[in-house]
Each structure stands twice: as C-alpha cells, then as structure tokens.
Structure 1
Amino acid sequence: KAAEWYKLAAEQGYSRAQNALGNLYYRGLGVELDCSKAVTWFLKAAEQGNSNAQNNLGICYEEGKGVVKDFLQAKQFYQKAASNNHASATNNLGYLYLMEKLFKEAMNKFHIAASLGCIDAVFNLGTMYEAGLGVTKDSHMMVEYYEEAAGKNYPKALVKMAHLYCKGEYIETDYQKAFNYFKKAAEQGNDEGENGLGQMYELGLGVKTNLKEAIKWYIKSSKQGNPVAAYNLGMICMEGRGLEEANPKKALVYFKEALRNGHPEAKQRLNEVYQDFDLGIDQDENEDHELSFSTINV
C-alpha cells in the first residue's frame, strides 16, 4: 500500500515521495528490489534539490548499486547534499576524502558532520585520533569520541569501548563494563559484539562462566561470517571443553569456516584435527555439516 501511495505522489512530482519510493526499490520493501529504479527516482528527487535523494545517489554511485561505481559522481552528489548541511552526506564525503588519503579534509568533514548530529562521524573522529590520520595521535580524544558514540548505542563504538576496557591500555581495566558494552552491541546484531560477548561468557570475565551462553553467541556471530567466532567454536569442539566429548567433525566445519573468512590460525588447527583424530575422511574431502550444536550436549 505504501508503495502505491508513494508512486502516485512521486508521479505528480513530489520530491519527498520520489525519494521515499526510491528507498523502497533500493531495499525491496513492498516492491521487488530494483536498484536501477531506485536510482531513477532518487535522481528525479535530487534534481529538485532533495538532499536526502542526493545523499542516496552518492551512496549508489559509491557502492555501484543501480549504476556503474563512480567515486567522482558519488562525491559530487555528496557535496550537493552537504552544502545544505546534510549530516550523513557530509560524513560520507569525509569518508571518500579518507579513502583518497586527504586526511585533513576528512577530519574537517567529520567534525562538521558530528556537529550536525551524525553519530557515524563521531565514531570516525575516534578512529582518526586513534590512528593519527590528519591529526596527532591522541588516546584521550580517541576515548572521548568512542565513548560519546557508545553513549548513543552505536555498535562499533560499543565494541571499541569493550575492547578498551578489556585491554586496560588507555583506560583502567573493567571487565564488567566491557561485558555490558559487548552485550549492548550483541543485542543489536553486531557480529563482533556477539563474539566478544561469547568470549566473556566462556572466560568468565565480568560475568559467571557459562559455556552454553558462549556457544549461543559464537553461533550467532559465526553465521554472520565472523572468523574469530567460528574459530572459537572449532576450539570448543576440538578440545571438548564443557561437552560430553570432543567433536572433531564439527571442529573441522568451524575451522574451515574460519579459514574461508580469513582467520590466520585456522589452517594450523585444521591440520591438527586431521592429525590427532581418526575421522575416516580424506583431508582434501570437502564435507558440509550443518553449523549447529543441536546434537551436542553442553
């Protein structure tokens, strides 16, 4: 129904309806996903000066959705929207400058976007201070920006703060706070937060040790392609920690998944499983097992 009404209004030239209809096509909500049609409607709205549509076109050109990837075109649309104080477009423009290694220009845009209320930009400022890009490295400013973004429940910042509290490198170690930050990120479906929460449960940091909970969160994270979570599951299966017995075949599945997603130690662990267990399968055989702990009693 929404698509029908938006289309009626869009065909009459209302830019907000045109942009909204473009969003439906871009996301496949109520209509068949069609990024080319999305671009068509975004363009109609952008030509009328709609800043949201200009930003959306910038994203399409940056990501190559519905159009051929073109960073120059993306930058031009971001600039149009940013000139009207569009917070996300200003941040996106800063990100393109960052990719071009124009660090001072990127910092400037991130500062402007942050002042306009863009939480992505606040987080990006933290990364700039952490890496010393366009500015002198400053751990105090880094923590300040990450903490600000985490205070708005920004998942990446929540994970950053959790790691900082675990390491105790720039702030005092506090596993309880780390656990809480990981939990908030995990509850938003962030794969790093899910894996981090699993590790806290597995190691009993900031919470009572609970392997069943650890496995639950590792599985959620590994299903999103997180290599560390898959590796952690492989280790639990290989060693049989908290299980009735070791499950080397499931360990193989998870180590292979970790390897596919780039975990540096997964190949070594695969070799160890083949060497230490009589699996009755060839090392090069590609077996597919369901990524599930349904047959394992914790």
Structure 2
Amino acid sequence: MYKRITALLALCLSLPLVAQAESLAQLQTRAEQGDIDAQYNLGVIYSTGEGVTQNYQQAAIWYQKAAEQGHAYAQNNLGFMYNHGQGVKRDDHQAVKWYLKAVAQGDVIAQYNLGVIYEQSEVIQDYQEAVKWYQEAAAQGHSSAQYNLGIMYDDGRGVKQDYQQALQWYQKAAAQGNPKAQNNLGVLYSNGQGVKQDFIKAKQWYAKACGNGDQSGCDNYRTLRKQGY
C-alpha cells in the first residue's frame, strides 16, 4: 500500500481587511514610515503577487523590516524564504534563526516549520529536533505537525518506532480532515500495524482520503476493491 511523505513548510499569508482595502501606494507610504503591519502586508503582497508582479526580493526586504521590529508572521515568512532561497541566498541557519524568533512569540506555524527543516535539511538535519518541534506544534492542534509526527513514529526517525503512537497522531490529523493522515491510517489497518488488521476499516479510511483529494488513498482503495473488500 502507498504512504505519503511528510507535509511541507508553511507560510502565513493572510491579509487583514484594512490592507485589502488600501491602495498599494498608501501601504507603501505607511511601510516606509515604519508601520510594522504595513511592512508585513507588503511582504505578503510581493510574495504572492497579489495585485503586483511577484517579487521575492521585495518580499524579503519588507519581511525583514517587519521581522526586525518583532512581527511574528514576518519572522516565520522570512525564515521560509531563507529556507527556500526565495529573494535571498538559501541559508538554513538563518531560517532557523527567524523561525526561533517567531516561536518565542508562540507562533505554531514556525514550530511546525522548525520540525520540517530539521527533518529535511541537508545541512542541519536532526530527527530528534524535528520530533521535538512537531510535538510542540501537534500539541496545539496543528494538523500537518500531527501527521508528520505520525510519520516519524511510523518510520522510527528521531524516536523509537512505535506504530501505536503513529496511529494516534494520524487519528488526530485525520479528525481534522487531513487526507494524507487518513490514507496512512488505512495503511496501518491494512498491515495490522499498531492495530488489529482490518481491511474494511482500511478501505473506509482510503475512501475518506480519496474523497479529500489524496491520490494514494484512491489507489489503495481501488487495490482493496480488486481484492474483494
């Protein structure tokens, strides 16, 4: 049966209504005057290309200005840009620096992103640190962190392999509609890992995953149907 790999990094990209109603020129003026929210909002606009030509260098500049003033979302997004080399030279150490500043303000997305970078980085990979930060974000209800924590227990990376723990974290993420977690629950039921083998329940989870757009769930569902379940 097919499993899915860990979920990827996340950005904070929501704009408040006041920013949506404001002209770019007005926003630029406020940002240049040092308004922290205007600086962050300009970063979002340039990184998404919302109403302007997408420009990662400009996005990084404005995120940096807001981040240096202590804007948690800007700190997370600047970390993301360093992690991906968007508008700045890729630097995972700088990414961690800015994620940690956002985490110090309680930003759950930055906690999750620290987990991802420590799991996937070729420069600072540390599975135990990845598990630590996934646990922090998962405890606050972050669905992708819960799913990724399930993966770590499933694979035995950074923790002792424990299918029951994997099952529990997949269940938490699946309850929030995470299709990858729903698929992986199906795999555990198919294989009898951490739970009594049950192809009917496996098929039910695959159906949910498929219904939520997960191709692996669709493939696994069809496989069980062909086998008569």
Q: Match of 1:111? A: 64
1:233 Cα deviation after fit? 0.5
Aligned to 2:152: 200
**Alignment deviations for residues 109-162 of structure 1 (CA, whole Å, 9 cap, x no partner):** 101110221111111112222333222333332333234334444222222222
Asked if the contact 1:201–1:210 (Cα under 8 Å) also holds between the matched residues in 2, the reply is yes
Identity among equivalent positions (%) equals 31
Structure 2 match to 1:170:
123
Deviation of residue 272 (structure 1)? Answer: 1.1
Of 251, 254, 257, the match for 2:205: 254
Task: Select which of 254, 271, 280 maps to 2:222.
Answer: 271
User: Which of the pair has more CA radius of gyration?
Assistant: 1
**Aligned-partner residue type, residue 57 of structure 1:** L
Please tell me whether the aligned partners of residues 92 and 121 of structure 2 are also in contact (alpha carbons under 8 angstroms). Answer: no
* Higher RCO (C-alpha 8 Å, min separation 6): 2
Residues 207, 232 of structure 1: CA spacing in aligned structure 2 closer, same or farther, 3 A cutoff? same
1:78 CA displacement: 4.8
Q: Which residue of 2 aligns with 1:230?
A: 182
TM-score, scaled relative to structure 2 = 0.78
Is the contact made by 2:162 and 2:194 (CA closer than 8 Å) also made in structure 1?
A: no
The match for 2:90 among 123, 134, 137 is 137
Which amino acid is the alignment partner of residue 274 of structure 1? R
**Correspondent of 1:217 among 169, 178, 183:** 169
Aligned length: 211
Q: What residue ranges of structure 2 are gaps of 5+ in the alignment? A: 1-14
Q: Which amino acid counterpart does residue 184 of structure 2 have in structure 1?
A: N
Measure how far apart 1:274 and its partner are.
0.9
Q: Shift of the alpha carbon at 1:85?
A: 4.0
Post-superposition shift, 1:75? 4.6
Cα distance in 2 for residues equivalent to 1:234 and 1:265: 10
Structure 1 residues 22-41: aligned runs within 5 Å: none
Q: 1:82 to 1:261 in 2, by over 3 A?
A: farther
TM-score, normalised by the number of residues in structure 1: 0.62
Give the letter for the 2:126 counterpart.
Answer: D
Cα distance in structure 2, aligned partners of 1:98 and 1:209: 39
For residues 1-56 of structure 1, what are the alpha-carbon distances to aligned partners after superposition, in whole Å with 9 as ceiling and x for unaligned?
Answer: xxxxxxxxxxxxxxxxxxxxxxxxxxxxxxxxxxxxxxxxxxxxxxxxxxxxxx84
CA RMSD after TM alignment: 2.6
